[in-house]
């Protein structure tokens, strides 16, 4: 009886060392360790021994059974996902992870940034959390100026020494204009892509978080003709050589004169559709000649230098390019939407 147990123990342990997958482990369990397996069959026969022999055999049988079950449990844990890499079949092909891709707004941002970089512009990113000075005062929008009502700003709950809220989540990329002037001086050519924030009542056309791309050129004798020329070139890069530009006056505190830049509708080619309200034109860019007070705030003499500035709505361009009718989808994180691009 004892010899049979020792021999069975050796046999089972040797087979456990060869286990590589669950199928062989199941065979061992069925043959040796199940209710009617060989181990339990031998253990059942202990009752037929004499009292003295039964006591000795019982103690040894419990010890052998414990060793076998302990080793069996260890091997089973490894096969079912334990940390013993030696039993893993490294020759099996791996599972290829799903690859991501660029967000549609990122694609538009890179396309425009590449266009301007090819024209000699620096591409610079400004801070999203900005001071009231750079966001408003340096842009010719003093405190209590009615132009501040045009932007429902997120103010940070921290007041300055005068008791006013001093930090805001910038509602436009224009807030980086004066920072860049202070750092680089004139002459200067730069674009500033960035994420903007406004306390909007969100709907299909309005979102609290959106993207813009600001641009400015500062040099001697810059005039409105330069502005029109650069915007015509960019419009043709975006929509093709047939794309036309028209400019209509509009007020912006930090430019004088200011203008709306409207391009031939990118969807209907100027024929008229519901997106352009059958006008054939889409308002895509705000622009103008930089106000002398903004140049002064940046440490640049407006009597020596002049400049132009423009701002594209990247989110709006992405909506037009991909035919998206709800701006909220871009920030939704819904993979059903994003996987289309």
User: DSSP secondary structure string, 194-234?
Assistant: EEEE-----BTTB-SEEEEEEEEEEETT--HHHHHHHHHHH
Q: What share of the chain has pLDDT > 90, as a percent? A: 36
Q: What sign does the dihedral 143-150-112-309 (CA atoms) show?
A: negative
Residues 142 and 9 occupy one common structural domain: no
pLDDT score of 62 more than 80: no
Residues 206 and 283 occupy one common structural domain: yes
Specify if 207 maps to a domain.
Answer: yes
Specify if 264 maps to a domain.
Answer: yes
Q: Out of 95-99, 120-124, 314-318, which region has the weakest mean confidence (pLDDT)?
A: 95-99
| pLDDT of amino acid 9 | 77
Average of per-residue pLDDT across 148-177: 77
Residue-range definition of the domain harbouring residue 56: 2-87
| pLDDT of amino acid 165 | 66
| Last-in-domain residue among 17, 52, 87 | 87
Residues 140 and 225 occupy one common structural domain: yes
Specify if 96 maps to a domain.
Answer: no
Q: Average pLDDT of the chain?
A: 84
Pairing mode, if any, of strands 167-169 and 188-197?
Answer: unpaired
Q: Out of 44-48, 124-128, 251-255, 256-260, which region has the weakest mean confidence (pLDDT)?
A: 44-48
Q: What is the distance between the terminal CA atoms of the chain, rounded to a whole angstrom? A: 73
Residues 185 and 329 occupy one common structural domain: yes
Residues 244 and 176 occupy one common structural domain: yes
How far apart (Å, rounded) are the C-alpha atoms in residues 185 and 226?
20
* pTM of the full structure: 0.66
Residues 12 and 148 occupy one common structural domain: no
Q: What share of the chain has pLDDT > 70, as a percent? A: 92
pLDDT score of 299 more than 50: yes
Average of per-residue pLDDT across 180-208: 90
Specify if 98 maps to a domain.
Answer: no
pLDDT higher at 182 or 14: 182
| pLDDT of amino acid 164 | 64
Residues 160 and 257 occupy one common structural domain: yes
Residues 60 and 136 occupy one common structural domain: no
pLDDT higher at 78 or 123: 123
Burial class (CB in 10 A: 0-12, 13-18, 19+), 153: buried
- Indicate the SS3 state at residue 117: helix
**Structural domain total, the chain:** 2
Specify if 26 maps to a domain.
Answer: yes
Q: What is the CATH number of the domain that holds 132?
A: 3.30.930.10
| Last-in-domain residue among 87, 117, 141 | 87
Residues 41 and 121 occupy one common structural domain: no
pLDDT score of 150 more than 80: no
Residues 239 and 271 occupy one common structural domain: yes
Specify if 99 maps to a domain.
Answer: no
- Indicate the SS3 state at residue 246: strand
Specify if 247 maps to a domain.
Answer: yes
Residues 83 and 108 occupy one common structural domain: no
| Last-in-domain residue among 36, 53, 87 | 87
Directed axis angle between helix 51-79 and helix 2-17, to 10°?
A: 0
pLDDT score of 34 more than 80: no
Residues 278 and 154 occupy one common structural domain: yes
How far apart (Å, rounded) are the C-alpha atoms in residues 123 and 172?
16
| pLDDT of amino acid 85 | 47
| pLDDT of amino acid 50 | 73
Write the pLDDT tens digit of every residue in 15-33.
778 887 777 878 877 877 7
- Indicate the SS3 state at residue 103: coil
275 Rama sector, left if φ>0, alpha if ψ -120 to 50, beta otherwise: alpha
pLDDT score of 194 more than 90: yes
Average of per-residue pLDDT across 40-54: 72
Work out the number of other CB atoms within 10 angstroms of the CB of residue 54.
15
pLDDT higher at 306 or 265: 306
Specify if 93 maps to a domain.
Answer: no
Average of per-residue pLDDT across 106-121: 93
Average of per-residue pLDDT across 51-67: 75
pLDDT band at 121 (very low <50, low <70, confident <90, very high): very high
Average of per-residue pLDDT across 243-254: 91
């Amino acid at each position: 009886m004892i010899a049979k147990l020792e021999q069975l123990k050796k046999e089972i342990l040797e087979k456990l060392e060869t286990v590589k997958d669950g199928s062989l482990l199941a065979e061992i369990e069925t043959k040796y360790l199940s209710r009617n397996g060989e181990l339990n069959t031998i253990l059942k026969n202990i009752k037929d021994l004499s009292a003295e022999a039964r006591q000795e055999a019982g103690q040894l049988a419990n010890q052998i059974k414990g060793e076998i079950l302990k080793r069996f449990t260890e091997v089973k844990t490894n096969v079912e996902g334990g940390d013993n890499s030696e039993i893993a079949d490294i020759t099996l092909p791996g599972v290829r992870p799903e690859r991501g891709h660029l967000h549609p707004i990122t694609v538009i941002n890179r396309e425009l940034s590449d266009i301007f970089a090819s024209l000699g512009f620096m591409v610079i990113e400004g801070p999203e959390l900005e001071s009231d000075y750079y966001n408003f005062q340096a842009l010719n929008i003093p405190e209590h100026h009615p132009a501040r009502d045009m932007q429902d700003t997120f103010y940070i709950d921290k007041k300055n020494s005068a008791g006013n809220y001093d930090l805001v989540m910038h509602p436009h990329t224009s807030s980086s204009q004066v920072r860049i002037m202070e750092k680089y001086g004139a002459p200067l050519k730069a674009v500033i892509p960035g994420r903007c924030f406004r306390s909007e009542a969100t709907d299909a056309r309005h979102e609290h978080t959106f993207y813009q791309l600001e641009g400015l050129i500062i040099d001697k004798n810059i005039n409105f003709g330069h502005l029109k020329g650069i915007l015509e070139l960019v419009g043709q890069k975006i929509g093709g050589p047939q794309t036309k530009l028209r400019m209509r006056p509009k007020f912006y505190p930090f430019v004088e004169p200011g203008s709306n830049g409207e391009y031939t509708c990118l969807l209907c080619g100027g024929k008229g559709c519901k997106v352009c309200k059958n006008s054939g034109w889409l308002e895509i860019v705000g622009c103008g000649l930089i106000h002398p007070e903004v140049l002064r705030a940046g440490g640049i003499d407006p009597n020596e230098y002049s400049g132009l500035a423009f701002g594209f709505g990247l989110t709006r361009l992405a909506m037009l390019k991909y035919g998206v009718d709800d701006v909220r989808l871009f920030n939704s994180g819904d993979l059903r939407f994003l996987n289309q691009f």
